[in-house]
């Protein structure tokens, strides 16, 4: 384009015009922008020199600082472990009861016990130990096998499996109905069948159960086998029993043993303290 066609001679336009006077200028960019531009490419070069960056055929440029995210993670882990070490060393040689008695330690142990509980126990006993149908509540103060820290530790360590025979051959339906109603009303021991059929041998003269064998308390209105129709559920238990291999309708109640290969002694102590704190006990 010649100068005669340029309607704005002397101006630093590029000679591109649209609609008579709309034109492209060739100005320097503003100073702030230029500084920003140079600062950013200098930053990129410095950064890629210092940190792991450019890919190569079977490796990558490692960076002059030698930083890696895995090394940083391991550093963090080390500092966490150095905080834990004094606690872990103490716990190793202490009984669960002594840990429970120590405020500081039991707080520490409860935190890791909660994680262990989530991984190993909540599938059966519920996330906060609130129980599930067929799996006893651990978050109350009602225990089949006793609620002391030692009882709880034993339950976890060696497992539990209460056994009750079925009574269909010994008691007719009428007697089972009447006995179930007595239990439902909290009057188990007042029913003659309670003694005659031998319930007394396992559930005790007062009907409160014996913790060494896990025979449930029958007079507290708390049920270990809960059901919407509790009365029918009681009848079912009396008729077919619990963990009774002679009857396929028997209730199944098996607490697996966690001692030995499954969990370490320290982990079991942590769990015992955690569970004890959920439900309390003596």
Binding residues for heme c: 121, 124-125, 164, 199, 202-203, 255
Cα 42 to its chain centre, rounded Å, is: 49
Q: Which two tokens stand for residue 140?
A: 């109350």
Of residues 90 through 129, those in contact with ligand HEC by CB under 6 A are 120-121, 123-125
d(CA 135, CA 254): 9
Cβ atoms < 10 Å from Cβ of 208: 16
Q: Which is nearer to ligand HEC, 13 or 230 (CB)?
A: 230
Residue 168 found at the interface with ligand HEC (CB under 6 A): no
Identify the residue among 96, 99, 219, 234 touching ligand HEC (CB under 6 A): 234
The binding site comprises 121, 124-125, 164, 199, 202-203, 255
- Length, in residues, of the chain: 282
Contact 208, 200 (CB under 8 A): no
- Looking up tokens 């007595």 gives 182
The per-residue DSSP string of 116-131 comes to: HHHHHTHHHH-TTS--
CB of 282 to ligand HEC, least distance (A): 13
Spatial separation of the C-alpha atoms in residues 112 and 270, rounded to whole Å? 7
The angle, 0 to 180 degrees and rounded to 10, between the axes of the packed helices 103-120 and 265-279 is 100
| Contact pattern from residue 190 through residue 229 relative to ligand HEC, giving x for each residue in contact according to CB under 6 A and a dash for the rest | -------xxx-xxx---------xxxx-x----xxx----
- Give the residue with the Cβ less far from ligand HEC, 98 or 140: 140
Contacting positions for ligand HEC (CB under 6 A): 120-121, 123-125, 135-136, 138, 143-145, 152, 155-156, 160-165, 167, 179, 183, 197-199, 201-203, 213-216, 218, 223-225, 234, 237-238, 242, 253-256, 258, 271, 275
């Amino acid at each position: 384009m010649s100068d005669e066609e340029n309607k704005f001679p002397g101006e630093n336009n590029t000679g591109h015009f649209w609609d008579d006077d709309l034109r492209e200028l060739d100005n320097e960019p503003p100073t702030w922008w230029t500084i920003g531009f140079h600062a950013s490419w200098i930053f990129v070069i410095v950064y890629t020199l210092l940190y792991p960056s450019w890919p190569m055929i079977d490796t990558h440029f490692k960076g002059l600082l030698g930083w890696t995210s895995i090394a940083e993670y391991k550093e963090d882990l080390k500092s966490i472990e150095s905080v834990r070490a004094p606690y872990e060393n103490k716990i190793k040689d202490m009984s669960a009861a002594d840990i429970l008695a120590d405020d500081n330690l039991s707080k520490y142990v409860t935190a890791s016990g909660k994680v262990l509980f989530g991984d190993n126990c909540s599938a059966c006993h519920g996330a906060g130990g609130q129980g599930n149908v067929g799996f006893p509540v651990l978050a109350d103060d009602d225990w089949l096998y006793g609620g002391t820290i030692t009882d709880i530790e034993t339950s976890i360590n060696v497992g539990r499996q209460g056994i009750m025979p079925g009574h269909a051959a010994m008691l007719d339906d009428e007697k089972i109905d009447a006995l179930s109603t007595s239990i439902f009303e909290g009057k188990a021991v007042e029913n003659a069948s309670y003694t005659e059929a031998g319930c007394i041998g396992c559930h005790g003269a007062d009907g409160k159960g014996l913790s060494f064998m896990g025979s449930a308390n029958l007079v507290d209105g708390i049920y270990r086998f809960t059901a919407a129709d509790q009365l029918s559920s009681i009848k079912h238990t009396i008729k077919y029993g619990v963990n009774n291999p002679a009857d396929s309708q028997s209730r199944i109640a098996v607490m697996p043993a966690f001692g030995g290969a499954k969990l370490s002694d320290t982990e079991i102590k942590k769990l015992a303290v955690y569970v004890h704190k959920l439900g309390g006990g003596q």
